[in-house]
Structure 1
């Protein structure tokens, strides 16, 4: 049977399960995950079914799945569902209308801001931000001054999506730390250059480390080189997590001024600081510190270095990683096997085949997955033997999937 035929059989099976009281909840959820728009009408019918025998949760998942499928045929049914008796169904409908991006939902969602249920209102706030319609600005401004910290943060982010970032900037000075933290985070996600100076002030002056770390990460996302020196200064923050956020941000900015300060942290007594510094230097184009950390005494540092080298995709790491397949720590071997698959270098094939004899199931599983990614036909025999002889379900699954990948090459 072809994969298309298998997919259609699975789809039809889920439609049948949608009618089964014992299976309808999971079926409604899975239909949204499949992405097949043929499910729209059956899901609408499920959403509109008010029969007491239909579980509320299946209607809730139907509303969610209609948003995931992204078909505007669902707009009107979802708008009608904003009046449903179940607050869970109303909440999912409000969230889904934002995903569909249809302006018909704006006024109904503004009306939903008066709903008695907390989650429904928050869902409407988020969706109004996603829809990007100026009609939502005035009602959202009211919520941006709300005493509820979570609601205030949610409204501020939605206003930011509408181009109104002043409430978020003002929230950086709010007495509640959660409001300040959320505002700093949202300003980074929005990427508006007007947030640069306020975020610098938050990084340098806020008394709470959560706000400072959020400001550091957001400055990295803004991509403004003026942040380099303040972020270098933040490397010496008394709180470890602020240091980590500053290193990540410097890696994002890619400015050579960060080299020398970061090199001083490569021999820091705290393993996490060594790892973060090396990772950032790798992003700046220097993988030598990461290669050196493959020999670190701490297993966690070696794990992080192997992981980062796989993410960076520099084939200079292949030979050092091959040596690490013999590491005494199984987690290090597992991550190394995974990273070698990401690097896509044929030199890893034979060593990864040898890893199929490892004593640890997770190492074997990741070695099998990497062999599938590498497309190495000479691994077929070893993978076939593994599939036949292994009693571990996850290992058998990895071997089967790797063999399927190799057969398609």
Structure 2
């Protein structure tokens, strides 16, 4: 984290992105109160030529609080509209009344986005004056603009509904924008104002069909209140009113209007006939079939096309003969649609027609024809379908695959398996949507005849993807003939199966579980002892499908061998399945391993994250509980409750309270893995007489990541037992890592910096590093003189993350600390705070006898990055250590033109 001085220098950087980053960093929470920040941002708004930088400045000003209001008001006059818009937005977030008058003035801005943002901000201020100004603004702009202003309208309706309803009613009739009319119709329908009924009916005569449809839907939403006006509209001469009024009435359950829609099928204007058919189709009434059939002979091709599509959707057998007749003579594209409609029916004449067009040049025709072929004519259609599997169009191939599955003809097995192999081997590289699902579904429909050929494919293929898919498909087929082959695959390669590997064995275990035959239990038990983790996990999941006593001991052994870390990193669902199976079968032997799995994935091992994070977290922090892990935890909790007959919280706390219990430590860690189920009992346990119980409860609260644990942990900092206090500090640190923080916790931790126990002081400093706050500055500085080097190092570390320049002088004093680790931490701190005053003492360290110190000093000088570091880095090029030379060379290259900002 760079210091304010370094960031202020970066504001002059020639690169726009660097200046943007500097602006954002300046407004971090621990730097907001520095008066230099506001002054620098004010100057940046005036002098920076890049509008993107000024936009970030305007956005960042909101983080400074109400102190930035005057500057934000000034920014409303920026040359760039997006900067002005961002300033208005931030004024709304701050909610300061001083912004009302300037924002009202901004409503006259020449940029629409700025106007909208100013209006929205004014509504957020909830001032009578602001609301009146926005209403006046909308009255001036809403009815003449094509902008929706929907968000403003909806907000204003909650504040002052009457003038807004009047505005919406006017918009229905006089707005030049179709979108505005539609939005107004939707809002009025939601509001339920009856005054909208007549203006909405008036929209039926609008020239845009989407406006007509929106008005009809709005009237339907208004409900029975609209029926009288809609019925009256049926008597007018306007065909469009009759069309949409009839549609709305039928939607409202007034079937008498159906006659009006049917009458419109004879209207002289083809568009009226076209939309009448469309509306009738949506109603789905059987009495409309014959009138629509008559429309097949309409004089306009688009009306005919609509009639064909309607009859295909209605699927009434009365349409078969007329559609067949039309198919004899209709031109394209009507013929194509007619074939598509006929494909929805089952009739011998249709089947005969489809047999003739299944090889049509048009792939859409071929597709519909294949879908229309019927299984009872398998002898005729099988050759056609087999040929279609090689079609150039993937839709046709998918349709043929689906139909071959429906045939249940053994002759389809070989070509489908060939297609299965092609997709598995090449499908991932083809530019199509083929993913093998249809082929797998077809083979599953064919059933038993597929098993033997599929086994042959498995034995012969060297392609890992084909073998994997074949193994899983055999599992889905659930045929016992596959059991011996799959059981052999479970064994490591020994010459019997040439291409057996880890993927094969894991897939075979999964497939055997799908088959579910008890004869596979023994090979699965053997596989559960495999050296490969994935094979073991697959075998475990498969064994969990058998709720028999024989699987209890193998599942327990898996829990003991493959601990929670493996289940967490691999498949939490496996432990969930094991827990559920053990709970159903029963057995006290399962209690111990289940509790231990809870505890296994307690912490990140040291070094799992980057070294900096590992150092910052003290080498460990509880795992975050994902959805899958949470489900596994809940399954374990339910299993333990079922096995013991005791609620999980009582079970674990009972073990923790028993000093002689062998699972005491394990149960203590497991407490934090059950979440809400144990929260209240754990908080109560903080008052237990046994210090171990209190420490366990404090640990559990940190692992739950629940903000309700903060205050109990703060109180626990006063515990008489140092181990309990240490754990409470660590738990507060864990909560801070997950952004669960409280200023009261910072104050309470600061008091622990003077604790007699140096370990508590060190842990406290480490915890404070997770919550950088100005409150901790002086207590941390006072602890820099601690007699224990570990404490001094952690304090410097915390000050580094605090990033306050006021700590520099006392931190620099530790450059001569007798402990090298402390000195290295001081160097890192000086580099990250990054002020020019640190250059001289860091330069002196380039003569330190320890190579690590010199190397860290070079890196710190690079971080400061001013022109004054160049001379020192150039000197370091002559260092006796090649590592220091390389670091100095890299630092000089990286700085380049940047090192001119002294």
**Bin of the TM-score, shorter chain as denominator length:** 0.5 to 0.7
Q: Does 1:277 align with 2:680?
A: no
Deviation of the 1:159 alpha carbon: 5.0
State yes or no: 1:343 paired with 2:771. yes
Whole-Å Cα distance in 2 between the matches of residues 172 and 332 of structure 1?
A: 48
* Cα distance in structure 2, aligned partners of 1:169 and 1:385: 69
Q: SS where residue 335 of structure 1 aligns?
A: helix
Pair 103,392 (structure 1): closer, same or farther in 2 beyond 3 Å: farther
Contact 1:349/1:371, CA 8 A, preserved across alignment: yes
Q: Tell me the alpha carbon deviations over residues 6-27 of structure 1, each in whole angstroms, 9 at most, x when there is no partner.
A: xxxxxxxxxxxxxxxxxxxxxx
Question: Equivalences for 1:284-295 in 2 at 5 Å?
Answer: 284=706, 285-295=708-718
The equivalent residue for 1:31 is none
| Residue matched to 2:665 | 241
Aligned to 2:202: none
**Cα distance in 2 between the residues matched to 1:111 and 1:208:** 26
Q: How many residues align?
A: 287
Deviation at 1:250, TM superposition (A): 1.8
Structure 2 match to 1:198: 581
Match of 2:681 in 1: 261
Which ranges in structure 2 are unaligned for 5 or more consecutive residues?
1-462, 469-488, 496-500, 514-519, 602-628, 656-660, 835-862, 865-902
Distance 1:139 1:384 in 2: 67
Residue in 2 that maps onto 1:395: 822
Shift in CA distance, 384/103, structure 1 to aligned 2, threshold 3 Å:
farther
In 2, the alpha carbon distance for the partners of 1:234 and 1:205 equals: 16
- Look up the match of 2:728: 305
- The answer as to whether partners of 2:490 and 2:508 remain within 8 angstroms in 1 is no
- Residue 60 of structure 1 is matched in structure 2 by none
* CA deviation string 1:232-265 (max 9, x = no partner): 23222353134324412123xxx2x534322342
Distance 1:172 1:402 in 2: 57
Structure 2 distance, partners of 1:180, 1:172, is 12
Match of 2:325 in 1: none
Residue matched to 1:222? 632
Listed as ranges, the matches of 1:9-408 within 5 Å are: 113-114=492-493, 125=502, 128=503, 134=507, 144-146=524-526, 149=529, 151=531, 155-157=535-537, 164=542, 166=544, 173-174=552-553, 178-182=557-561, 185=564, 190-192=571-573, 194-198=577-581, 200=583, 205-207=587-589, 210-214=592-596, 216=598, 220=630, 222=632, 224=634, 227=638, 230-235=647-652, 236-237=654-655, 238=661, 239-251=663-675, 255=676, 257-281=677-701, 283=704, 284=706, 285-313=708-736, 314-315=741-742, 316-387=744-815, 389-407=816-834
Distance 2:771 2:733 in 1: 6
User: Cα deviation per residue 1:92-128 (whole Å; 9 max; x = unaligned)?
Assistant: xxxxxxxxxx968x99xx9994489xxxxxxx75xx4
CA distance in structure 1 between the aligned counterparts of 2:556 and 2:542, rounded to whole angstroms: 22
Give the conservation status (yes or no) of the 8 Å contact 2:732–2:767: yes
2: distance between equivalents of 1:169 and 1:366? 53
Question: CA 1:248–1:347 in 2, change beyond 3 Å: closer, same or farther?
Answer: same
Q: Which runs of 4+ in 1 moved over 6 A?
A: 138-143, 167-172
- CA offset digits 1:200-221 (Å, max 9, x no partner): 469x843366413135459856
The whole-number CA distance in structure 2 between the counterparts of 1:233 and 1:378 is 51
Deviations 1:177-217 (A, max 9, x none): 64342467455652225445235469x84336641313545
Q: Report the Cα distance in structure 1 between the residues aligned to 2:581 and 2:572, rounded to whole angstroms.
A: 13
Between 174-183 and 234-243, report the one with greater CA deviation: 174-183
Verify the 8 A CA contact 1:181 1:211 in the aligned structure 2. yes
Contact 1:234 1:246 in 2 (8 A): no
Give the conservation status (yes or no) of the 8 Å contact 1:368–1:399: yes
Separation of aligned partners in 2, 1:353 and 1:307? 21
CA deviation map 1:297-352 (0-9, x unaligned):
22211111111111112223101100000011111110000000011222112211
SS at match of 1:344: coil
TM-score, with normalisation over the residues of structure 1? 0.57
Q: Is the 8 A contact 1:231 1:246 kept in 2?
A: no
Q: C-alpha separation between the residues in 2 aligned to 1:111 and 1:174?
A: 20
- Does structure 2 retain, via aligned residues, the 8 Å contact 1:213–1:245? no
CA contact (8 A) 1:143 1:151 kept: no
User: Following the alignment from structure 1 to structure 2, what is the Cα–Cα distance between the partners of residues 223 and 175?
Assistant: 21
Three-state SS of the structure 2 residue aligned to 1:359 is coil
Report the Cα offset of residue 151 of structure 1: 3.4
1:344 and 1:374 in contact (8 A); partners too: yes
RMSD: 4.3
Sort the Cα spacing of 1:345 and 1:201 in 2 relative to 1 into closer, same or farther, 3 A: farther
Structure 1 residue 272 displacement after superposition: 2.9
Q: Is the 8 A contact 1:168 1:183 kept in 2?
A: no
Cα deviation digits, residues 247-288 of structure 1 (max 9, x gap): 12123xxx2x53432234223343232122234345332322
